[in-house]
Amino acid sequence: MNPLLKRQISKYLDPLALEDENLQKFIQAVNRSYETHIDQFNMQQRAMKISSDELYEANEKLRKEAEGQKGIIDSIHMAIAALNLKEYEDKKTGELDIKNLATHIKVQSEDLKAAMQKQEELFKSLEKKNQSLSDYAHIVSHDLKSPLRSINSLVNWILEENSDVLNEEGKLHFDLILKNLEKMDALINGILHYSTIDQAEIVQYQVDTQHIVTEIAEMLYVPSHININISNSLPKITGDKFRVQQLFQNVIQNAIKSIDKEKGVIEITAEENELEWRFHIKDNGKGIPKKHHEKIFRIFEKIENDQASTGIGLSIAKKIVDYYNGSISLESTLGKGTTFYIHLPK
């Protein structure tokens, strides 16, 4: 029985009267009306909740649409503000000449579309030229190296077959030929590396510079009077092994070539801040004049009278650093040495 009905009956009716059959039927009918009323009330509550949820969702949708519309209107206002609309205003009424303004916007739109199409064509043309340049560099490298190998073999054969009859001057001349062949080979390799250093896809992964620099020091020819001191705390950086190896190899080779002291020292260290790694490659070589500090990073540029240099190594290092959105610089004192600073973003 409904609790409210039960309370009222117990309050006003004698318990003995409830035993009457007709009264029992009447109470049951009243009880059913209570139950029907409660069911209807619950249904109304459910309906109100559903309506409230739907209304909330509709309001949220309207709010988001209103925000979107506001963004569009703000963009239109900015676009209108960017246009010079004074010339389209009626001098008498101050109202905009919509017809002329629409024509102006149409012309601007067509010009923008034409400019974008032209830019796309230029990008495609540049891509083709870059590919052609890369292909050309590989072809030239192959075609030039073939005769160099033949000349090298021929010169070595002559030296072996005629070592007894050649005097010191003749041997010196042949040695000069071999050194120039090595320089030509290095020059061809340098051109090929320089032209293709930024052609490959970017593959980023962790590279251990400690391992790479140690490998380079063991791989390069380092005269016995030069010591390379490598810090034990060189970091792991984000990059790819080939480019990072090329970067450090070219700077370290430059340091080795620059040393003119009886006891040469090259020190390689690194430090960090929140944004980047900063590598130091310091030597006690002859130093680089201030006027050459920018020149040495340009391809085929080299310090005066430095016949051993190809003029490509440091330009490759600069191109790799630029590829990683970093920077390379140096400080140098003539007769005392040079420190190269390589900044690579984390």
SS3 state at 259 = coil
Distance CA 69, CA 75 (A): 10
The rounded Cα 35 to chain-centroid distance in angstroms is 71
The one-character DSSP state at 202 is P
Cβ atoms of 236 and 206 within 8 Å: the answer is yes
What local confidence, expressed as pLDDT, does residue 100 receive?
Answer: 66
The confidence score (pLDDT) of residue 329 equals: 94
What is the CB-side half-sphere exposure of residue 318 using CA atoms within 13 A?
17
Whether 303 contacts 310, CB under 8 Å: no
pLDDT in the model for residue 27: 74
pLDDT of residue 196: 62
**pTM listed for this prediction:** 0.51
Site of tokens 């040079």: 338
> Residue 266: what pLDDT?
96
Phi (first) and psi of residue 281, to 5 degrees: -120, 105
Render each residue's pLDDT in the chain as its tens digit; 346 residues. Answer: 666 666 677 777 777 766 777 777 777 777 776 666 556 666 666 666 666 667 677 777 877 887 878 878 777 767 666 666 555 556 666 565 566 666 767 777 888 888 888 888 887 777 766 666 666 665 666 666 677 777 888 888 888 888 788 888 888 888 878 877 776 777 677 666 666 666 655 667 899 999 999 988 988 888 999 999 999 989 999 888 888 888 998 899 999 988 999 999 999 999 999 899 999 999 999 999 988 888 888 876 666 555 555 667 888 889 889 988 999 999 999 999 999 999 999 8
For residues 140 and 134, what is the distance between their CA atoms, to the nearest angstrom?
Answer: 10
CB neighbour class for 143 (10 Å; exposed up to 12, middle 13-18, buried from 19): exposed
Beta-bridge partner residues of 265: 227
CB of 264 closer than 8 Å to CB of 224:
no
User: What pLDDT does 173 receive?
Assistant: 82
3-state DSSP assignment of residue 327 = strand
Tokens 């629409």 label which residue?
102
- Token representation of residue 122: 């230029």
Are 246 and 300 contacting, i.e. CB atoms less than 8 angstroms apart? Answer: no
Residues whose CB falls within 8 Å of the CB of residue 206, separated by 6 or more in sequence, listed in order: 236, 237, 238
Q: What is the pLDDT of residue 88?
A: 58
219: exposed, middle or buried (Cβ count in 10 Å: 0-12, 13-18, 19+) = exposed
What is the structure's pLDDT at 65? 81
Closest by Cα among 66, 106, 115 to 83: 106
